[in-house]
Amino acid sequence: MGANPDAVLIAGAGTPSALPAKALKERSYKGKVYQTHGVANNDFLRVCGKDCEGEILPAGPVLVTEQLPGSNPVKKSAAVYKNAYEKANGAGSLSTFGGHAWDAGQMLQRAIPEALKKGQPGTPEFRDALRAALENLKDLPVSRGIMNTTPNDHNGFDDRARVMVQIVDGKWKLLND
């Protein structure tokens, strides 16, 4: 606090990241506060409350599905995941982290039919073909972006896999797209 920095980055995950944010508020810090995507869940908002108002963080587009413009190529796939998750777990329960598992399932749904053309499950031919299919996904829309993998890029995401959000009135607000 003595250095009065222009901005503070809280590099944490989950609800424990509310503690430093609350401490900064208690000490009347007036600069910008940035968080990481690790806090992109509604429990963080619940725990941090008004003390996190105005904080900024990167997040997967699924966090603000409804706020994405119709032209965003992730909107439809993000909505499919969000709707399925909230149907099973209740409105407002979205877990962006659950999207990682859902996305892996989408990858397999695309890759397995390709692998089956080369061999039967359990065979070396199938395993090799599955790996090749997973390493060559093109334009696969998932909850967090558009997947384009290569043998050297298993992440497969580009700039469409993140948005910047701000906490406004206790909710996630898309800053730009």
One domain, residues 98 and 151: yes
Check if the beta carbon of residue 13 is closer than 8 Å to that of residue 36: yes
Split into its structural domains, the chain has a count of: 2
One domain, residues 75 and 126: yes
**pLDDT for residue 148 is more than 60:** yes
List CB contacts of 2: < 8 A, sequence separation 6 or more. Answer: none
Provide the residue range defining the domain that includes 43.
Answer: 1-60+162-177
* 3-class SS of residue 133: helix
Which pLDDT belongs to residue 2? 84
What average pLDDT does this structure show over 146-167? Answer: 94
Residue 48's closest CA among 12, 22, 87, 86? 22
pTM (2 d.p.)? 0.86
Task: Count CA within 13 A, CB hemisphere, residue 102.
Answer: 21
User: What is the spatial distance between Cα 136 and Cα 96, in angstroms, rounded to a whole number?
Assistant: 24
pLDDT grade, residue 159 (50/70/90)? confident
pLDDT in tens, 109-124: 999 999 999 999 999 9
One domain, residues 156 and 166: no
Which pLDDT belongs to residue 30? 92
What average pLDDT does this structure show over 23-49? Answer: 94
More confident residue, 26 or 159: 26
For position 54, which CATH number holds? 3.40.50.2300
One domain, residues 84 and 2: no
Which pLDDT belongs to residue 95? 86
One domain, residues 174 and 146: no
**pLDDT for residue 176 is more than 80:** no
DSSP string over 10-36: ----SGGGHHHHHHHHHTT--SEEE--
What average pLDDT does this structure show over 112-137? Answer: 97
Check if the beta carbon of residue 20 is closer than 8 Å to that of residue 10: yes
